[in-house]
Structure 1
Amino acid sequence: MAYWLLQHNPARGECGSGDWTVRRYRELITAGDGVALWHSGRGGGAVAVGTITEAAHDGVITVEFARMFTGRPIPRDTLKADERFRDALVLRMPGGGNPFPLTPAQWQAIEERVPPENQLVAATVRGAAALAVAGATALREAVRSVAE
């Protein structure tokens, strides 16, 4: 399992689950990978975590942010002070294109700070997302085998 971070400028409007254009790492992104949503700009930081539900096709991935905490973000300065996160690519190259890879330690630095009200359903949501990904993959393979 890999971990990714998608950056969004909230001044450009709302964003969340759905399709996201990716410019880099397309061949490495797989369904079931973890993903965090990062708001850029003043007051920025991590505002959601979720799962990649569909790998890159034509430069687009599908994401489900199961735990949104936009009203209570994890501030950039808090994560920057964490030795596990301080060398994250989004901090070193904030102008880079999506997605930004995260190490397991960087992912853990975010996960540990998810607001408590968003943690209670985490295991259930991850399990449901994994089942949905497995079902979608099985269906896609069945369609391919019939089409051939």
Structure 2
Amino acid sequence: MAFWLLQHNPARGICGSGDWTVRRYRELITVGDGVALRHSGRGGGVAAVGTITEGPHDGVITVDFARMFTGRPIPRDTLRADERFRDALVLRMAGGSNPFPLTPAQWQAVVDRVPPDSQPAATTVRGAAERAVAE
């Protein structure tokens, strides 16, 4: 299992579950991989977690964001301050194209901060992260 971050600029419209174009790492992406959605720009941050449900086919993956928490995303500065996340590729190359790979530790830094009302999905995701770290 791998973990990915998809970045979206909310100024370009609403996004969420559904089809996403991926330009890199197509050969590494598989169904069941964990995905975090990060809104870019001022006030942005991780706004959802979910899984890849299909693809990639012709550069497109289908994602189900089981938990959206756009009203209070996990702030970029909060993740940057976490030693597990601070060297994530998305922080070093924010202008890069989707997806951005996350290590199991970086994924764990995200799911540890999923808002409490989203905990049921985070528990499932956290279990997947723990299994990946153990492998």
Per the TM superposition, whether the score is higher than 0.5 is yes
Report if the CA contact (8 A) 1:66-1:125 is conserved.
no
**Separation in structure 1 between the aligned mates of residue 89 and residue 24 of structure 2, nearest angstrom:** 13
TM-score (norm 1): 0.82
- Following TM superposition, the consecutive aligned residue runs of length 4 or more in structure 1 with deviations greater than 2 angstroms are 120-126
1:67-104 per-position Cα deviation (integer Å, ceiling 9, x unaligned): 10000100000000000000001100000000000000
Deviation, 1:120, is 2.9
Counterpart AA for 2:36? A
Alignment pair present for 1:49 and 2:12: no
Structure number with higher helix proportion? 1
Quote the RMSD (CA, aligned, Å). 1.7
Aligned length: 127
Which amino acid in the other structure matches residue 32 of structure 1?
Answer: G
Matches within 5 A, 1:11-90: 11-90=11-90
Q: In the alignment, is the contact (CA less than 8 A) between 2:114 and 2:122 conserved in 1?
A: no
Q: Percent identity?
A: 84
Equivalent residue number for residue 9 of structure 1:
9
CA 1:67–1:81 in 2, change beyond 3 Å: closer, same or farther?
Answer: same
Measure, in 1, the Cα distance between the counterparts of 2:81 and 2:8.
Answer: 22
Larger Rg belongs to: 1
**Change in 2 beyond 3 A, CA 1:40/1:26:** same
Q: Name stretches of at least 5 consecutive residues in structure 1 with no aligned partner.
A: 127-148
Q: Which runs of 5+ in 2 are unaligned?
A: 127-135
Task: Measure how far apart 1:44 and its partner are.
Answer: 1.2
* Distance across 1 between alignment mates of 2:29 and 2:79: 24
SS of corresponding position for 1:77: helix
